[in-house]
A and B are shown apart, each in its own frame.
Chain A
Amino acid sequence: MSCENPTTDPDALMNRRPKFDKAKTCIKCKIAEGNIVIRHAVYCKDCFFPLLKTKFKRSLEPFVNRLPNGPRKKALNPSGNLLIGFSGGLGSTVLLDLVHKSYFSHRKPRESGGEVEAVPEQQETGAGDRYRDPRQERVWKKAAVCYVEVAGAFPGMKDRTEDIQRIVESYDDFEFVPLKIEDAFNGEWWESVDQCPSSSLLNFDISNEELPFFQSDSTRLTPLERLHTYLSRLPSPTAIPSTIRTLTRLLLLYTAHSTSSSHLLLGTSLTSLSISLIASVAMGGGFGVSEEVQEEWIPPRSGIEGRKEVGVRVVRPLRDVVNKECATWAWWNGLTVVGQETVPGFKQTIGGLTKDFIIGLERDYPSTVSAIARTCGKLTPKDEAGGQCVMCQRPAQRGMEIWKQRISVRSLADLEEAPSGIPIGTQENQPSLSPYLCYACHATMTSKSSRANPSSTNGPKLPTSTSDSKTVSNLVPLPVWVTARLFGPADKVQAEDPSREGSGDALRDGEVWRNVELGREEMRTAVKDFLLDQDE
């Protein structure tokens, strides 16, 4: 490691390697003149295409069959359909093109229509495959492309669904599934993805770290109004893009599930993967850092009788491909990149700062992004998960509240006795969201900015909550899957105080109803300290 003073010695930070290794000839064919330099290696145009395709397949194909990391030569037999998450950005544009070129164009539809059935592993290379060439057949029977439009969340942002649709329809073989970010609060969408409808809604008090929740009567609000209320109450600018990301992820996962997809592919490049890994660590998501690379999502029970839940494997086939390679692929193939509009104020969030930092590093030191991804690939959670977070539905660690209480004294009452494990700000008999959240989601909902509020000049610009322009209530609606879990059999992930075991069991057994059936007056009494106005 070099450690000189960079102000006096420009080469002090790290020795800058020459851009061209030794010659201008392609290092692959060793004949043609090179057209592109990728991490100090020179390639010609003809060699670049197979190179990228190989990197793409290498990151995807070992994870196509049900048992991952099987032999490379084994026939590809996914147990379901394919869903591609498409944002219109560079990575997903390249991903869509690569998937189409590699597995759909010039390939026959797979034999046997109808329901997708799981293919047992022993049949994958069985007698039935002997007379057909799997290389001539499509790998997945059906493929859909899902786009989540976030324009509703931010005023003045252009709805690009039509542009996206044109791109997707230019490929014959993909079905287009357009969604809106506010669908996360939409009961109709929830039913459309084959989930049991909730007859009621839940609100939670975002001003209290314990996040107590209540039955809501705000059914009059539209999904978009609920989304606005949710985003406008978040305590920091950082929380807004991070919440949009979580909502988008869950919308994609449930869509994958409802389209019987065994695989959800995302166009995360090595560059964006490194950014999300560092940002995730910086937002307290260390426990789930390996999930950022590869994840197997099994939906919580839907509540529909007899339904067999099948998991969705999220794969990022461009995770070894840097942005420069994506851009080159798109340019040389003449692909149209719709692009993504940046969330206003994004630069001052943890995600935005991390992006600027990593992209700056990548420009001068291209190996840094792969070092980050490689390092994080060697990590694993230290403890067993205590359950699944109701918000992001990733594995969550136990003991978050006790840990927080131990490291920072937030009330003089805490000083009277040693930390006992009683969560902060516990309200007797009031069910709360906090024990069902992972550390990162809890921080997103509770960790305040050093500035006044996220709607201030530095944060992402949000519409004013339309629930009631005069009332600034701290009660915030919950996404549909969170409500469904809290009404259903959610697992608490945080360690409980044994003396409160009774109430915990009630929640665990799906008996939340008994605790939340509060009259309006009781509700007001329970939250009056947290309401800034008594109008609600």
Chain B
Amino acid sequence: MPPKLCALCNTSRPILKRPKTGQQICKSCFFLVFETEVHNTITESQLFQSGDRVAIGASGGKDSTVLAHIMKTLNDRYNYGLDLFLLSIDEGITGYRDDSLETVKQNQKEYNLPLKILSYSELYGWTMDDIVAQVGRKNNCTFCGVFRRQALDRGAAMLGVDHIVTGHNADDVAETVLMNIMRGDIARLGRCTAICTQGEDTIKRSKPFKYTYEKEIVMYAYFKKLTYFSTECIYSPDAYRGHARTFLKDLEAARPSAIIDIIHSGEAFEIRDEVKRGQKLQQTCKRCGYMSSNDLCKACTLLEGLERGMANAGITDKGVKQLNAAGPTPDNLRTIPFFQMNTVGNSGPSPSPNPWPLDSGPSG
């Protein structure tokens, strides 16, 4: 029996079976199709325009490490004409971020990309270690998630970029679709399959790996010998998401196309108009200017709760009532700096001076 050949080039020996298509292919064909599919996603969705300043949300994990590599590769290969930056958020969890931030700094050197590391303590005056010390292990994910989202936008505004790309992959998107159906989160269900989200007051955010399987990202990193850290957060794996993730992995094992089939499902439906009309309108936070559904954004509410020693204030309705009952907000309360979109034209100077210097990394 002749040896089996790569299903694509038909000349080399296959070394892997693609989780996405089931085809057995060789290493060079895998690199080619992996990169081309991301390129197709970018061009079909018209994510970028030449001259765009794009920040890569870099955590040092596998997704963002491969994303940084791919963005650099495709930008050079197809002349996207993008100014790329690396943007990292330091949550301030001892022993969790330190190593992965080193990976990001290594990427900075390797790809010669400017890096900005923004820390929770710099922005909010609290590290996650401090927060956990006050609120305990319960609910601390709420703080971290809300703070990280804002921090990325704020870091991007500081860099004066037009666009943030994140390493969310197909598994993440599929899992979010399932999770939002199961917990009845209509608003998020409506937007979680969009490749690019942009509100009036937020920086464009997109997911070039939307159709890329997590397993293939790992394979790519493995064959390209990219280093990354896969540290689990020491405080709290997201338990609810954990349920959905375990279920999704089971579905994928039963039929690998399940991931892409769920995304297809998520793209095929939308929220009925009459339901949409009942949803809260987006506004801006009266205290910090960030997008919000209420007068105060979630981050400001959480921060006020922390500052006033009422950590539940931003988490439960009861907590909000207790906070309101405790009297007006003190004048000297620590607040988050006012958010301003800091867009930079392709040719013009930054409309406001950037007070936040770029990190120079270990090389200085």
Contacts and interface: CB of A to CB of B under 8 A. Distances in A.
Given A281-B262, A375-B184, A408-B21, A238 B254 contact: yes
A523 interface: no
A380 B190 CA distance: 11
Given A378-B271, A378-B275, A447 B264 contact: no
A450 B40 contact: no
A13 B239 contact: yes
Contact of B139 (A2, A361, A380, A397): A2
Nearest to B212: A407
A309 to B, nearest CB: 27
B251 A282 contact: yes
B178 A403 contact: no
A353 B138 CA distance: 30
Contacts of B8: 411-412
Interface residues of B, number: 63
A444 B260 CA distance: 14
Interface in B212-241: 235-240
B40 A4 contact: no
Given A3-B240, A375-B186, A407-B211, A449 B255 contact: yes
A448 B238 CA distance: 31
A281 B181 contact: yes
A372 B181 contact: yes
A448 B255 CA distance: 7
Contacts of A415: 32-33, 36
B37 A287 contact: no
B254 A408 contact: no
Contacts of A5: 137, 235-237, 239
A37 B20 CA distance: 45
Contacts of A381: 268-270
B283 interface: no
A315 to B, nearest CB: 20
Nearest to A410: B21
B92 interface: no
A136 interface: no
B44 interface: yes
Contacts of A379: 189, 269-272
Interface residues of A, number: 64
Interface string B186-199: 10010000000000
Interface in A260-287: 277-278, 280-287
Nearest to A236: B255
B267 interface: yes
B139 A3 contact: yes
Nearest to B272: A380
A406 B242 CA distance: 30
Interface string B153-196: 00000000000000000000000011011111110010000000
A328 B183 CA distance: 27
Interface in A377-420: 378-383, 397, 403, 406-412, 415, 418-419
B182 A4 contact: no
Residue from the set B21, B22, B268 with the largest chain A CB neighbour count within 10 Å: B268
B75 interface: no
Contacts of A30: none
B166 to A, nearest CB: 18
A507 interface: no
B254 A286 contact: no
B272 A376 contact: no
Contacts of B251: 282, 350, 353-354
Contacts of A376: 181
B138 A4 contact: yes
Interface string B18-49: 01111100000100110011001101100000
Top 7 nearest A-B pairs by Cβ distance? A286-B265, A3-B141, A284-B261, A287-B268, A286-B268, A447-B257, A371-B184
Interface of A: 1-6, 8-9, 12-14, 236-238, 277-278, 280-287, 289-290, 348-350, 353-354, 357, 361, 368, 371-372, 374-376, 378-383, 397, 403, 406-412, 415, 418-419, 439-440, 443, 447-450
Given A379-B271, A381-B269, A409-B36, 14 more contacts: A2-B138, A3-B141, A4-B137, A4-B141, A5-B237, A282-B251, A354-B247, A380-B269, A408-B37, A409-B40, A410-B21, A415-B36, A419-B40, A450-B22
